[in-house]
Amino acid sequence: MVKEIERAGIPVVHVCTVTPISMTVGANRIVPAIAIPHPLGNPALDHDEEKALRRKIVEKALKALSTPVDGQTIF
Protein backbone atom coordinates (compact mmCIF):
# COMPACT_ATOMS: atom_id res chain seq x y z
CA MET A 1 0.00 0.00 0.00
CA VAL A 2 2.84 2.32 0.89
CA LYS A 3 4.14 2.43 -2.68
CA GLU A 4 0.72 3.16 -4.18
CA ILE A 5 0.23 6.09 -1.78
CA GLU A 6 3.67 7.41 -2.71
CA ARG A 7 2.86 6.88 -6.37
CA ALA A 8 -0.29 8.95 -5.94
CA GLY A 9 1.98 11.85 -5.04
CA ILE A 10 1.49 11.93 -1.27
CA PRO A 11 4.54 11.65 0.99
CA VAL A 12 4.06 8.67 3.28
CA VAL A 13 5.90 7.38 6.32
CA HIS A 14 5.78 3.70 7.18
CA VAL A 15 5.76 3.08 10.93
CA CYS A 16 6.56 -0.58 11.44
CA THR A 17 8.49 -2.98 13.61
CA VAL A 18 10.06 -5.15 10.97
CA THR A 19 11.94 -2.51 9.03
CA PRO A 20 13.64 -5.05 6.72
CA ILE A 21 10.23 -5.97 5.30
CA SER A 22 9.49 -2.29 4.84
CA MET A 23 12.80 -1.96 2.97
CA THR A 24 11.93 -4.96 0.82
CA VAL A 25 8.46 -3.75 -0.05
CA GLY A 26 9.90 -0.39 -1.00
CA ALA A 27 8.85 2.23 1.58
CA ASN A 28 10.97 5.38 1.34
CA ARG A 29 10.44 6.93 4.78
CA ILE A 30 10.55 4.32 7.53
CA VAL A 31 10.19 4.83 11.28
CA PRO A 32 10.85 1.82 13.53
CA ALA A 33 8.05 0.84 15.90
CA ILE A 34 8.02 -0.97 19.26
CA ALA A 35 6.75 -4.50 18.58
CA ILE A 36 4.47 -6.29 16.16
CA PRO A 37 1.39 -6.63 18.43
CA HIS A 38 1.72 -3.04 19.67
CA PRO A 39 3.73 -0.94 17.21
CA LEU A 40 2.88 2.37 18.89
CA GLY A 41 2.52 1.27 22.46
CA ASN A 42 3.95 -0.76 25.26
CA PRO A 43 1.49 -2.48 27.60
CA ALA A 44 4.20 -2.76 30.24
CA LEU A 45 4.03 1.01 30.82
CA ASP A 46 1.27 2.88 32.58
CA HIS A 47 -1.19 4.78 30.44
CA ASP A 48 0.51 8.18 30.51
CA GLU A 49 4.01 6.84 29.93
CA GLU A 50 2.71 4.75 27.08
CA LYS A 51 1.01 7.74 25.48
CA ALA A 52 4.22 9.76 25.80
CA LEU A 53 6.07 6.96 24.05
CA ARG A 54 3.46 6.93 21.29
CA ARG A 55 3.72 10.71 20.97
CA LYS A 56 7.49 10.37 20.45
CA ILE A 57 7.05 7.90 17.61
CA VAL A 58 4.38 10.05 15.97
CA GLU A 59 6.63 13.11 16.27
CA LYS A 60 9.43 11.13 14.66
CA ALA A 61 7.06 10.10 11.87
CA LEU A 62 6.03 13.71 11.27
CA LYS A 63 9.69 14.73 11.25
CA ALA A 64 10.38 12.06 8.65
CA LEU A 65 7.56 13.47 6.53
CA SER A 66 9.16 16.93 6.70
CA THR A 67 12.61 15.65 5.77
CA PRO A 68 13.80 15.33 2.15
CA VAL A 69 15.14 11.85 1.29
CA ASP A 70 17.05 10.48 -1.70
CA GLY A 71 16.10 6.88 -1.38
CA GLN A 72 14.93 4.47 1.28
CA THR A 73 15.70 5.90 4.71
CA ILE A 74 15.17 4.53 8.20
CA PHE A 75 14.75 7.39 10.69
60/50 Cα distance (integer angstroms): 15
Give the shortest CB-22-to-other proteins separation in angstroms. 7
75 is a site residue for other proteins (CB under 8 A): no
Here's the x/- map for other proteins, 5-44, by CB under 8 A: it reads as xxxxxxxxxxxxxxxxxx-xxxxxx--xxxxxxxxxx-x-
Exposure of 64 in the CB half-sphere (CA atoms within 13 A)? 22
Residue 55: how many CB atoms within 10 A of its CB? 11
Give the residues lining the site for other proteins (CB under 8 A): 1-22, 24-29, 32-41, 43, 50-51, 54-55, 57-58, 61-62, 65-71
